Amino acid sequence: MVTKELSEAAVEFNCILTHSSQEIIKKIPEKFITFMKSIASTTYTFNYDKSKKLNEQNIKPETRGIISLVYQDYICSEEEKNNYILKCKNYEIKKENELREKYNPDNIFRSRKNVSNTLENNISERSYIIEYKEKNFIQKIFEKIKLLFKRKY
C-alpha cells in the first residue's frame, strides 16, 4: 500500500533524478524509475533549487531514505558500499548510545529521587503551617465596640 508520504517522497525523488547526471540515471534500473513515477502524487509539487546542494534541499525524511537506498544499492561501488554501510552502522550505534544515556531507567529513577528530595527540602524550608482561628461571638462583639470608639465624628 502506497502512503501519502511515500507518494510525496516519490515526487521529490523524481524531481531530484531529473536534475541528476545521465551517468547516475543509467546506474538505476529502469523498473525502479518507472515504479517511482507510477506511485508519485499528482497533487504534490516540489521545487528543486539548483543553487543549493542536495543536503541543503528541503526534502522529506522518506526521500532521504529512498536516496540512501538507491545510492547504496545502485550508484556506489563495492568499496564505497562497504564504507557507507559501516558509516551508517556507526551512526546508528552512536544514536542508540545517546538514547540509552538519555532514557536509561536507572538514571531516570535516580534523577527523580534527587529532584523529589530537593523539592521536599525546598518546600519544607519555605512553607509553614499557620493556624487560623475563627473569632467567636464575644470576640466579634468586642471588635465592633472597639470600632465604635475609634470613629471620630
Residue 12 lies in a domain: yes
Residue 8 vs residue 112, higher pLDDT: 8
d(Cα 93, Cα 112) in Å, to the nearest integer?
27
Nearest to 48 by CA among 22, 82, 14, 87: 14
Residue 52 lies in a domain: yes
The reported pTM is 0.61
Residue 110 lies in a domain: no
Mean pLDDT, to the nearest integer, of 116-126?
58
Residue 32 lies in a domain: yes
Structural domains in the chain (count) = 1
- Please report where in the chains the cell 559501516 appears, as a residue: 86
3-class SS letters over 32-64: HHHHHHHHCCCCCCCCCCCCCCCCCCCCCHHHH
Residue 125 lies in a domain: no
Q: Which domain holds residue 57?
A: 4-76
Contact predicate 46/38, CB 8 Å: no
Highest mean pLDDT among 74-78, 102-106, 125-129: 74-78
End-to-end Cα, the chain, rounded Å: 91
